[in-house]
Structure 1
């Protein structure tokens, strides 16, 4: 059975003090969360150390939001996979649409980051998805399959999570219709030829729609943005029905 994976992506939010405040409000809610449900917090680099200490011994896994493909070198501003491992990081987000849109991420660099993460024992969460223009041009399937074909060369599918995040639904309040999200994730699964890879949906996931999203047979979890910033909101998502 594919595991269920709920990840909160804080993006560039929360100081260390704010991160600790979040945990005080959030952690008690996990008492009623099914044990087989994986819970991940993807936090800014500056929060990794304090979150690692606070989450030690808990069921919540820690994730970074990016990783460089080199283990070390003259790459000012970058962070390597061995550095993340030292901080207690188990997962890392790779290829998020905001990285592709604002920082020049390509399928080639995504592939290099995926392999670097896995080489260090960190499980990558690969993000794929189409823009509004691409969807309107009926290019959704072509774009996503290309991202998979080029991004997954040499990648171990047994140590991978994929998140389908339609770019037009991220931070806009627009959510992809659940049946359509389920259809696209089904296409991704067929392309992988590995039925055990967990595939999440990401894009304006909220407490009010998570139950419907998670009821879809192809959807194994959620990559949650804004709704993961407030403890009660994210707890409701983690404890979906």
Structure 2
């Protein structure tokens, strides 16, 4: 079911002390948040259990930043979706641009990870987005369409309720640059069309925007008809900023 979601991707940042301090502040600042807004905390995997403990008395969900495309086996250093589910995760980031660019994850690998996430009963938060060169070449919609089609092709009808999609233009991640609200809305509307062509109940799927979201631009972005929330990076490390962004939804 389509709902408002704000997800905090801590990336490779934090410590136990940081987690305790930040979660404590967020519980206070978001104590009166609209109950229809789902807040998801996605820390580095080593801190998932601690964050899960810290949010046990708060309406926050916990996610993990990455899982393997395999279920189990001799894959030193990898974490399976089943393991993430076992320790209480609800969401999994799949296909983040940093995984695609820095770790050479192909569209096919992303698709395999989506399948593992769904088999484990978790929500796949699937990230798509174009580079600056692709946008300047007029290929933005083509790239996003391809990423969605490969990642989600052939999903059974009962699996779509476990899919959330985040549009994160690569050129706007951590750069301070943000797509205009109009550009972001246009891409989100396009993604709904692609999802519909894949057999999804497109109007029911939550679509998030990610890419230098800040308190100053959050309300305009989230005010767009097809933007249901955000995948937040740097601003999620600051309690005041992240809380402000959550309230903007």
TM range (shorter): over 0.9
Q: Aligned equivalents of 2:3 and 2:89: distance in 1?
A: 19
Runs of 4+ in 1 over 4 A off after TM superposition: none
**2:100 — aligned with what?**
100
2:162 aligned with 1:159: yes
**1:187 — aligned with what?**
190
**1:77 — aligned with what?**
77
Q: Aligned equivalents of 1:66 and 1:122: distance in 2?
A: 12
Q: Aligned equivalents of 1:139 and 1:145: distance in 2?
A: 10
Compute the TM-score of the two structures, normalised by the length of structure 2: 0.94
Give matches, 1:107-122, under 5 Å: 107-122=107-122
Do the aligned residues in 2 keep the contact of 1:32 with 1:239 (CA within 8 Å)?
Answer: no
Q: What is the DSSP-based 3-state SS (H/G/I as helix, E as strand, rest coil) of the residue aligned with 1:239?
A: helix
Compute the TM-score of the two structures, normalised by the length of structure 1: 0.97
Q: What is the DSSP-based 3-state SS (H/G/I as helix, E as strand, rest coil) of the residue aligned with 1:195?
A: helix
Unaligned runs of 5+ in 2: 197-201
Q: Aligned equivalents of 1:81 and 1:96: distance in 2?
A: 16
Q: Aligned equivalents of 1:142 and 1:85: distance in 2?
A: 33
Q: CA RMSD in A?
A: 1.1
**2:13 — aligned with what?**
13
Report how far residue 157 of structure 1 moved: 1.9
Unaligned runs of 5+ in 1: none
Q: Deviations over 1:72-113 (max 9, x none)?
A: 111111100111112110001000000000001111010110
Q: What is the DSSP-based 3-state SS (H/G/I as helix, E as strand, rest coil) of the residue aligned with 1:89?
A: coil
Q: Aligned equivalents of 1:22 and 1:56: distance in 2?
A: 15
Which piece of structure 1 moves more, 176-185 or 54-63?
54-63
Correspondent of 2:206 among 198, 206, 209: 198
2:212 aligned with 1:209: no
